Amino acid sequence: MKWETVTLGDISESIQTGPFGSQLHQSDYSESGTPVVMPKDLINGRISTESIARVAENHVERLSRHKILPGDILYSRRGDVGRCAFSTEKEADWLCGTGCLRVTIDREKANPKFVFYQLQTAKSVGWVEKHAVGATMLNLNTGILSAVPVAVPSLDVQNNVADMLSAYDNLIENNQKQIKLLEEAAQRLYKEWFIDLRFPGHESTPIHDGIPEGWEIVPLESVLQKLTTGLNPRKNFVLGQGNNYYVTIKNMGDNTIFLDDKCDRIDDEAVKKINARSDLREGDILFSGIGTIGRVYLVCIPPINWNVSESVFTLRANSRTTKEYLYLVLLSNEMQSYCDKHAHGVAQRGIRMADLKAFPFLLPSLEIQEKFEKIVKPIISGTQSLHKQTRVLSEARDRLLPKLMSGEIEV
């Protein structure tokens, strides 16, 4: 099968930058309106709307040349220049924002999705990073992006490859939607029972000063059998030796954990040192305490060969609370706000153990907690199962991607 090497510019209708700062000011943004895609919104090959900026219709018409078309590929122009995302029908007529580059593929020459997948290979990302300019921060421009080498087979082969990889992405996206729905269901129930106080039997339960009878406000420390952190490798052990996982904040996602080839490893001697402080068990809860504060993970399986770093708190519930209720408390908006308020540091913010211990929260009766546990336990288990499936799918796609893009596997 013959593959021709061309440049991205050869197969593109246009490659252009988003509007400059002089065209789109901070004061132009509004709470509602058309989304404007910035580099921070390019996440895992997709456009995230979690914190997306918006502008009113008059700005959209003024900047109409920057409207996104389905199938456009958006690049970060500064910093993480290998970051890109593929636009779909959903993002049609949104705006390419400041700090992004927009690539529109000529569909008579190439399949946009195929090109996007090729641009995600390590080889392509490495080329872009190598040719980007800038000492303190890498920068891309239209000239550099136009020169990116792209290997293209016939359109039929491109279509088949894109369809095969898209099938994986569609399964991953469906899993992520299900995960979000399950997590929202658990958090809605938590809010209904413990914020709005619409728990089972609330009609007949006396309320004193806003607190149901038999409930109390307590510090987090009072419901913990154990609160520890792991150990810093500095002067204690060497990373990269052994077969035991060394879990840091980079391995913690949104209510999940990533233990893969990228996870650091440590030897048995290091494990002994960490276990003297933090012997991780099933049922423990991990809480990120430095940098991205407040990531939470409930350990639902035996954590064989797992060991935590000094940046991760391990919490173990005592008999006053269920681990499921404690998990939702740690995920709550109240806890996140508390961490924001009590975080210390400039270059890298963190929350101290003493402040974490002092977090005040509402402790319901154990009877109500156990009723809550029966409902949310299968929900938490379901989300973790879907996270695991998603990781397997992602790893399979990532292994397949370079083989398809090099022609090693023919379709």
* pLDDT-based confidence at residue 350 (cuts at 50, 70, 90): very high
Contact 293, 339 (CB under 8 A): yes
When pLDDT is averaged across residues 367-375 and rounded to a whole number, the result is: 97
More confident residue, 200 or 300: 200
When pLDDT is averaged across residues 162-182 and rounded to a whole number, the result is: 95
* pLDDT-based confidence at residue 175 (cuts at 50, 70, 90): very high
**Identical fold, 4-152 and 216-363:** yes
Please name which of 55, 165, 168, 155 lies closest in space to residue 111, comparing C-alpha atoms: 155
Weakest-pLDDT range from 188-192, 229-233, 260-264, 281-285: 260-264
Fold (topology level) of 216-363: Adenine-n6-DNA-methyltransferase TaqI; Chain A, domain 2 (3.90.220)
pLDDT at 328: 97
CA 406 to chain centre: 29
**Dihedral, CA atoms, 22, 27, 32, 36, nearest 10 degrees?**
30
Alpha-carbon distance 257 to 247, whole Å?
9
pLDDT tens digit string along 273-306? 888 887 889 999 999 998 889 999 999 888 888 8
Q: CA angle 362-365-371, nearest 5°?
A: 110
Backbone angles phi, psi at 391, to 5 degrees: -65, -40
Please name which of 187, 112, 185 lies closest in space to residue 155, comparing C-alpha atoms: 112
Give the strand pairing for 42-43 and 46-47. Answer: antiparallel
Domain extents in the chain: 4-152, 216-363
pLDDT at 254: 75
pLDDT at 251: 85
pLDDT at 1: 61
When pLDDT is averaged across residues 249-270 and rounded to a whole number, the result is: 83
Contact 318, 225 (CB under 8 A): yes
Is domain 4-152 in CATH 3.30.70.20, yes or no?
no
pLDDT tens digit string along 39-86? 999 988 999 988 899 999 889 899 999 999 999 999 999 888 888 999
When pLDDT is averaged across residues 328-352 and rounded to a whole number, the result is: 92
* pLDDT-based confidence at residue 240 (cuts at 50, 70, 90): confident
Residue 150 has pLDDT above 70, yes or no: yes
Residue 113 has pLDDT above 90, yes or no: yes
- Looking at the chain, the whole-number percentage of residues with pLDDT higher than 70 is 100
When pLDDT is averaged across residues 219-224 and rounded to a whole number, the result is: 98
